[in-house]
Structure 1
Amino acid sequence: MAMTSPDVYKLGFVGAGNMAESIARGVAKSGVLPPAAIRTSHHRADRQSVFQSFGVVILESSGQVVADSDIVILSVKPQVAKKALLELKPFFTDHKLLVSIAAGIKMKDLQEWSGHGRIIRVMPNTPSAVGEAASVMCMGDMATKKDEERVASLFKAIGKIWMADEKYFDAVTGLSGSGPAYVYIAIEALADGGVAAGLPRDLAHALATQTVLGAAAMVNKSGKHPGQLKDAVTSPAGTTIAGIHELEKAGFRGSLISAVIAAAKRCRELS
């Protein structure tokens, strides 16, 4: 059973979508906060029921959520962030911390729209739903060391978190924000290759998925450079080098690099 942290405060979510749900579930499951210390609101009964199912308090409005919370996570779609913050501006008192996970919305805009200076930006990604998020955060000028520690503990409940300057956030979005989609395509393509080579679809899918998971774990846990691990699998005149040769001819590396750069560029355009 998870042990509740002695540092109990009230955490509110403005926006009750899938990312908010993943964070709230992770926080409650890990014991960082008890579910009763988490609150949100939503006009749809089905979304209310999802959060209530693991003990989150449902309030009638986002204004009530902000008023009744010490840390407020802005988890709305980027295109409605401005409208939401302008409406909630009167509720942001000095003791509250605003944490934005809205992609592409810069600190200066968050400050202007909310009229509030105590802000932290975080960029998580969708594997938060299975506790394997890659999150990056940057601190606003008025955020405190205690704020940093609290926010880090929240996002460690759904994966790993790193600190970076805000100037890197578009690149972060292009890599870890959009990156899961690139990996899903790679898994699908590996499975298709297995089928093309004669494997049953279900076995090909399972092998491709576990192979990607295992390779990522090897990089993560061995501490070795991916190139070293690749070389260890690649025997002279063997099967792996034959496959790598085809990947290089098709521009595999260059395509992934270009995908990250294109996504980062699009993030800059949207922001």
Structure 2
Amino acid sequence: MTIALNGPLLLVGAGKMGGALLEGWLARGLDPRSVFIQDPALPEGIGELVAAHGIVAGAAPRLPQPPAVIVLAVKPALAGEVLSVIAPSVGAGTVVLSIAAGRTLESLSEPLPETCAVVRAMPNTPASVGEGITVCVANAHVSEPQRQACETLLAAVGEVVWVDEEALMDAVTAVSGSGPAYVFHLVESLEQAGIEAGLPAELAARLARGTVAGAGALLKHSEQDATTLRTNVTSPNGTTAAALEVLMKEDALKRLLARAVAQAAKRSRELSS
């Protein structure tokens, strides 16, 4: 899918997530002449990419016309200050797409023109390798073409899902935003368990990493759900069944994850209030 917008795109912040988005856009054919980057100090790799494509970047790049989309990819603590600075560049047809974690539609809209279209998005770190999933919610001023433009831009780094209720974003953050860390901890734990079972550390690490990565790839490409895939690999009275008897006893793992997600959602609400 080639990306085409009806005006310039202003990327504010070209750090890890902003840089991943930029790479995805360029890979999908977005005209680099339509991209402008507001960032006073580009990371080394992104600086080289920007230079190679002749993209205009700097602390305050001058755009030929109001941007079609402003992508806000700065740290949440800086979002309000940055939005106040860029507010004068917002045009009647501009949509502000924020990936600043925890910033509500209300807080994002406050420094902007009263009827500004704003989309709040929650991506996750697998976006850096094009395997992310992003959940979005829009305010009442976002038109269908603006919604489609935001979805097209975010789809460059993975799957995109929309919700109608902003209140769901705290749970979204707890499940998909923080979720990769849970999976990485699973790998750490599986690796340690392998060592305790007698495997050399290097082999345990390789097996744990490869198993989780492979299972994730199988889950992504299979039409079967996770329950069916688990059942398929579990022979009656076999080794997997013996392990699952421990993990699933009294819903131990389910209950632990439920507590973890609830705690993360609670913290998300605290940070966004």
TM-score with structure 2 setting the length: 0.89
Partner secondary structure for residue 243 of structure 1:
helix
- Whether contact under 8 Å (1:137, 1:161) holds in the other structure is yes
Q: In the alignment, what sits opposite 2:53? A: 55
- Whether contact under 8 Å (1:12, 1:66) holds in the other structure is no
Q: In the alignment, what sits opposite 1:187? A: 187
Partner secondary structure for residue 236 of structure 1:
coil
How far the C-alpha of 1:18 sits from its partner, in A, is 0.7
CA separation in 2, counterparts of 1:45 and 1:15? 8
Q: In the alignment, what sits opposite 1:160? A: 159
> Which deviates more from structure 2 when the two are superposed, residues 73-82 or residues 84-93?
84-93
In the TM superposition, what are the counterparts of 1:44-123 in structure 2 within 5 Å?
44=41, 46-47=43-44, 49-55=47-53, 57-62=55-60, 64=62, 69-116=67-114, 117-123=116-122
How far the C-alpha of 1:163 sits from its partner, in A, is 0.9
In the TM superposition, what are the counterparts of 1:37-48 in structure 2 within 5 Å?
37-44=34-41, 46-47=43-44
CA separation in 2, counterparts of 1:22 and 1:162? 19
CA separation in 1, counterparts of 2:57 and 2:48? 14
TM-score with structure 1 setting the length: 0.89
Partner secondary structure for residue 114 of structure 1:
coil
- The answer to whether structure 1 residue 263 and structure 2 residue 264 are counterparts is yes
Q: In the alignment, what sits opposite 1:219? A: 219
CA separation in 2, counterparts of 1:205 and 1:111? 46
How far the C-alpha of 1:245 sits from its partner, in A, is 2.2
Q: Percent identity?
A: 34
Q: In the alignment, what sits opposite 2:32? A: 35
How far the C-alpha of 1:7 sits from its partner, in A, is 4.6
- The answer to whether structure 1 residue 141 and structure 2 residue 140 are counterparts is yes
How far the C-alpha of 1:128 sits from its partner, in A, is 0.7
CA separation in 1, counterparts of 2:53 and 2:19? 12
CA separation in 2, counterparts of 1:66 and 1:29? 24
CA distance 1:45–1:113, shift in 2 (3 Å): closer
Q: Any unmatched runs of 5+ in structure 2? A: none
RMSD: 2.3
Residues 80-103 of structure 1: CA deviation (Å, up to 9, x unaligned): 111111222222121211111111
Residues 192-247 of structure 1: CA deviation (Å, up to 9, x unaligned): 22222233333322322222222223333333232222122222221112211222
> Which deviates more from structure 2 when the two are superposed, residues 170-179 or residues 52-61?
52-61
Partner secondary structure for residue 101 of structure 2:
coil
Partner secondary structure for residue 102 of structure 1:
coil
Letter in 1 for 2:197: A
Figure out how many residues of one structure are paired with residues of the other and give that number.
Answer: 268
CA separation in 2, counterparts of 1:87 and 1:66? 18
Letter in 1 for 2:106: K
How far the C-alpha of 1:19 sits from its partner, in A, is 0.5
Q: In the alignment, what sits opposite 2:242? A: 242
Letter in 2 for 1:265: K
Partner secondary structure for residue 71 of structure 2:
strand
CA separation in 1, counterparts of 2:91 and 2:196? 61
How far the C-alpha of 1:142 sits from its partner, in A, is 1.4
CA separation in 2, counterparts of 1:270 and 1:136? 18
Q: Which runs of 4+ in 1 moved over 6 A?
A: none
Q: In the alignment, what sits opposite 1:178? A: 178
CA separation in 2, counterparts of 1:253 and 1:158? 29
CA separation in 2, counterparts of 1:56 and 1:150? 23
- Whether contact under 8 Å (1:62, 1:88) holds in the other structure is no
Partner secondary structure for residue 254 of structure 1:
helix
> Which deviates more from structure 2 when the two are superposed, residues 82-91 or residues 260-269?
82-91
